[in-house]
Amino acid sequence: MQLYRGHVLVCGGTGCVSSGSKKIQEVMANELTKQNLDKEIKLVETGCHGFCEMGPIVIVYPEGTFYCQVQVDDIAEIVSEHLLKGRIVQRLLFKAPVTEEQVPSYKDIAFYKKQHRVVLRNCGHIDPEHIQEYIAREGYEGLAKVLTTMTPQQVVDEMKKSGLRGRGGGGFPTGLKWEFASKSPGPKKYIICNADEGDPGAFMDRSVLEGDPHSLLEGMLIGAYAIGADEGYIYVRAEYPLAIKRLKVAIAQAEELGLLGDNIMGTEFSCQLHIKEGAGAFVCGEETALMASIEGSRGMPNPRPPFPAVKGLWEKPSNINNVETYANVPVIFLNGADQFATLGTEKSKGTKVFALTGKLRNTGLAEVPMGIALREIIFEIGGGIMDDKKFKAVQIGGPSGGCIPEQHLDTPVDYDSLIALGAMMGSGGLVVMDETSCMVDVARFFLNFTQKESCGKCTPCREGTKRMLEILQKICDGKGVPEDITTLETLGAVIKNTALCGLGQTAPNPVLATLRYFRHEYEAHINDKKCPAGVCSALLEYKIVADNCKGCGACARVCPAGAITGEKKEPHEIDTSKCIKCGSCIEKCKFNAIVKG
Amino acid sequence: MVIKSFEDLKRLKEEAKALTGIRAGQGVEIIVGMGTCGIAAGAREVMSAILEELNKRELSDVRVTQTGCIGMCEKEVLVDVVRPGEKRITYGNVQPQDVSRIFSSHVINGQIVEDIVVAKLD
């Protein structure tokens, strides 16, 4: 075994790979060899750190120095200055967004400081393609404890005691789910992982799969033991090639060590795990559709009951949880349910990973204890709204969720409080919107997504969402009538009550939530034919303020429709009948002389 | 190897910990002066000797870091040893052949190698 005095961790998550981390790794390896440091410094590829916006991320241990947005040209300097001479390369450190202070250490960055990482405990800290690194951090010890000291019933009881609820969105108590499956009679049962993360902007499951695949395998094995399954499937979307690759490596390594397969750790317990690549239909994240897809049928949901715990995959009792849920399991059995339950609120235990996106200063993955206020997530971890604009709303739960306005930002985040606000935890996407977002347009965006992803099996979802979308389109085009609002509400309620599966039942949520909190915006579109945020182009008119216009002609030159005319050094004018409202003139004007409204 | 019991797993864990130990940030810290003066005085050779010693003794929790010039250039190569909770001891004019006894007496047993000490800091 070779010991090194330093470790250079280069992020190999999808985010950082897309910003060039593979090249960084290659150049770093060459530079280390060139400067004779390759025997002293170890280069490690890790999974995602969750701060993808600042990628490619490079961390140097033992100091724990956090370098961000590292470019190929910076590598020689990092090697000769930091790795050889021990001088930190100041200019590559993270700069705090408000104070502009440089933060040298990983653990002092505000984005991470407020977080409490349980599910993401290993992401970014270990090499996901080396099972030894997982084992070094207590990996597979929870499973060992379960297999050597506990009966399946005790495992179920411990899960119930932990209070863990499904992280895929519904929030159903995991222990109870396991109990149903364990009580279902039959020699053949399946354990299934839903890794078909489909919400736009959500990538917490991908991070776990890429950064810590063994925690998922360990969680599934504990679940399999509890319910009496000897075979399992991980249903992961084909759009996650890196996650699939790392899962395959992880499965092979676990099998080699006897941690997966027959007679695991020398016990009677055996379990095989397979990967099933999904073709990326959103509806396949619904459990019955997912199982249909594994069986080779078209991915369409089936009515429940019977629930999967009774009649699941190939009509055998099955348990299905999502990635984040399983990734919590090893921790529960390593430290005990009581320890786990110290985090969170009375009815929502543990932590939740959120994918922060939208108009925030810091975007990325944030894992926080349940019960934290949304305000803290958005303004402290997220660093507040970009460009000092005003916060308007946050969409939580993706296309199945709803938006939450400013006045409810102090609500503690847990399953039940979010439902009460007309949103839902969902898988944990948080899209933050500022004053320049039109809420009617936002509702239309999300409904457009679910409408396109509707599988078409049941009428309420297939026809209902289509009609709702048509009405929203009409409102955005300035052709809305006052009755449209009531029609939207009625349709929404009917779809919620009658659609076959979760996709349809939650599809109207974005519309209903925006109607609840931003009805005035709908009314402005319909009654005044105005879009208050200035987004819906049909309702906008571009005008030149004569007093500000210097007659420079820049706008006229850039206008693709030739709609702007005027004499040199005289105020110009826009011919609204020709204007296509592309906004090019506003971007070009240096004197703020063009307004829309 | 195949893990056949909890004990097997624990054994593997101890081995594996050596691979990632330095990321935990505990244990003894050894700081080598790597300014231009230090390098000119042979800090690279001292560093190599330290790493060799680490590997020979399989000390996975010792952190080896570097620092720049602290102004005592004539005493280079300077090597500091900091045991958790103890004084920071600076050794001066360190030669590669001194490294072994710094390890055996100070790093491992806490006995300062007095004849090459140049400073003791709290």
Are the C-beta atoms of residues B78 and B66 closer than 8 Å to each other?
Answer: no
* Residues from chain A contacting residue B66 (CB–CB below 8 Å): 84-86
The residue-averaged pLDDT of A184-192 equals 95
List the one residue out of A138, A182, A134 whose CA is nearest residue A158. Answer: A182
Judge: B9–A62 Cβ closer than 8 Å, yes or no: no
Interface of B with A in 56-115 (CB under 8 A): 58-60, 63-68
Confidence of residue A510 (pLDDT cuts 50, 70, 90): very high
Compare B67 and A272 and report the one with higher pLDDT. Answer: A272
Please name the amino acid found at residue A294. Answer: I
Residue B51 and residue A258: Cβ atoms within 8 Å?
no
CA A429 – CA A452 distance, rounded (Å): 19
Strand order in the sheet with A41-46: A41-46, A6-11, A58-61, A65-67
CB contact under 8 A, B68 and A7: no
CA distance B122 to chain A (A): 20
Contact between A302 and A258 under an 8 Å Cβ cutoff? The reply is: no
- Name residue B33's beta-bridge partners: B67
Level-2 CATH architecture, domain A351-434: Roll (3.10)
- Per-residue pLDDT band for B34 (boundaries 50, 70, 90) equals confident
Q: Give the whole-angstrom CA distance, residue A279 versus residue A298.
A: 11
Q: Does A96 score more than 80 pLDDT? A: no
Overall average pLDDT of the B68-92 stretch: 88
Closest to B60 (Cβ–Cβ): which among A3, A84, A138?
A3
Looking at residue A477, what is its pLDDT? 93
The CA R_g of chain B, rounded to the nearest whole Å, is 16
For B18, the closest chain A residue by CA position comes to A3
What's the pLDDT tens digit per position in A241-288? 999 999 999 999 999 999 999 999 999 999 999 999 998 899 999 999
What is the average pLDDT across B32-56? 90
Please report, for chain A, the start and end positions of each structural domain, with discontinuous segments joined by +: 6-110, 131-340, 351-434, 439-527, 541-596
- CATH 3.30.1950.10 assigned to domain A131-340? The reply is no
State residue A92 phi and psi, 5-degree precision.
-100, 5
- For residue A250, the SS3 value is helix
Whether A3 sits inside 8 A of B47 (CB atoms) is no
Q: Which candidate, A329, A210, A257, places its Cα nearest to that of B16?
A: A257
- For residue B19, the distance in angstroms to the closest alpha carbon of chain A comes to 7
Helices A519-527 and A465-476, axial angle in degrees (round to 10): 60
Q: Are A126 and A134 a contacting pair, CB within 8 Å?
A: yes
Contacts B56 to A, Cβ<8 Å:
none
**Topology of the domain covering A439-527:** de novo design (two linked rop proteins) (1.20.1440)
CATH architecture observed for domain A541-596: 2-Layer Sandwich (3.30)
CB A288 within 8 A of CB A301: yes
The C-alpha of B46 sits at a distance from chain A's nearest C-alpha, in angstroms, of 13
Determine the Cα–Cα distance for residues B45 and B105; give it in Å rounded to an integer.
Answer: 21
CB A193 within 8 A of CB A287: no
CB-CB under 8 Å, A3 with B58: yes
Question: What is the reported pLDDT for B25?
Answer: 67
Element (H, E) at A466: helix A465-476
**Per-residue model confidence (pLDDT) at position A172:** 94
Name which residue leads in pLDDT, B84 or A243.
A243
Angle at A488 between CA A484 and CA A489, to 5 degrees: 120
Q: What pLDDT does residue A522 have?
A: 96
Interface of A with B (CB under 8 A): 1-7, 9, 39-40, 61-64, 84-87, 125-126, 130, 132-133, 135-141, 144-145, 148, 256-259, 265-266
State both tokens at A8: 């250079």
With a cut of 70, say whether residue A98 has pLDDT above it.
no
| H or E stretch covering A226 | helix A213-227
DSSP-H helix ranges across A412-508: 415-420, 439-453, 459, 465-476, 483-498, 502-506
Is residue A301 within 8 Å of A309, Cβ to Cβ? no
The average pLDDT across A322-342 equals 96
Instruction: Please say whether the beta carbons of A476 and A444 come within 8 A.
Output: yes
CA distance A553 to A544: 12
The helix/strand/coil state of A575 is coil
pLDDT confidence of residue A1:
66
Token representation of residue A107: 């653990």
The SS3 assignment for B88 reads: strand
Instruction: Report ipTM (2 d.p.).
Output: 0.81
The pLDDT of residue A416 is above 80: yes
Q: Please name the helix (run of DSSP H) or strand (run of DSSP E) that holds residue A378, with its range, or none.
A: none
Nearest Cα neighbor of B70 from B51, B95, B88 is B88
Query: Over 80: is that where the pLDDT of A107 sits?
Result: no
- DSSP for A273-296 reads EEEEEE---GGGGSHHHHHHHHTT
Does B34 contact chain A (CB < 8 Å)? yes
**Domain spanning B23-121: which CATH class is it, in words?**
alpha beta
Residues on chain A touching B68 (C-beta within 8 angstroms): 85-87
Tokens (6 digits) for B113 = 């190698």
The 10s digit of each residue's pLDDT in A31-76 is 999 988 888 899 999 988 888 888 899 999 888 899 999 999 999 9
Residues of chain A found within 8 Å of residue B20, distances taken between Cβ atoms: 7, 126, 133, 136-137
Across the interface, do B2 and A257 touch by the CB < 8 Å criterion?
Answer: yes
Domain ranges in chain B are: 23-121
Res A189 pLDDT > 90: yes
What chain B residue is nearest to A3 in terms of C-alpha separation?
Answer: B55
The mean pLDDT value for A593-597 works out to: 86
Angle between helices A204-211 and A213-227 (to 10 degrees): 100
Q: What is the DSSP string of A153-175?
A: HHHHHHHHHHT-B-TTTT--BHH
B11/chain A closest Cα distance in angstroms: 10
Fold held by A6-110: Glutaredoxin (3.40.30)
pLDDT per position as a tens digit, A518-577? 999 999 999 999 999 988 988 888 889 999 999 999 999 999 999 999 998 999 999 988
Q: Give residue for tokens 């909190």.
A: A517
- Which candidate in A1, A3, A82 is best for mutational testing of the B interface (most B CBs within 10 A)? A3
Tell which of B6, B30, B78 to mutate to test the A interface (max A CBs under 10 Å).
B6
Is residue A366 within 8 Å of residue A356, measured between CB atoms? yes
Using DSSP bridges, classify how beta strands A429-434 and A391-396 pair: parallel, antiparallel or unpaired.
antiparallel
* pLDDT tens digits for range A450-481: 999 999 999 999 999 999 999 999 999 999 99
Does the CB of B5 have a partner CB in chain A at under 8 Å? yes
Contact B46, B99 (CB under 8 A): yes
pLDDT of residue A100: 74
Host H or E run for residue A374: helix A374-375
- The answer to whether B54 contacts A3, with C-beta atoms less than 8 Å apart, is yes
Distance CA A425, CA A493 (A): 20
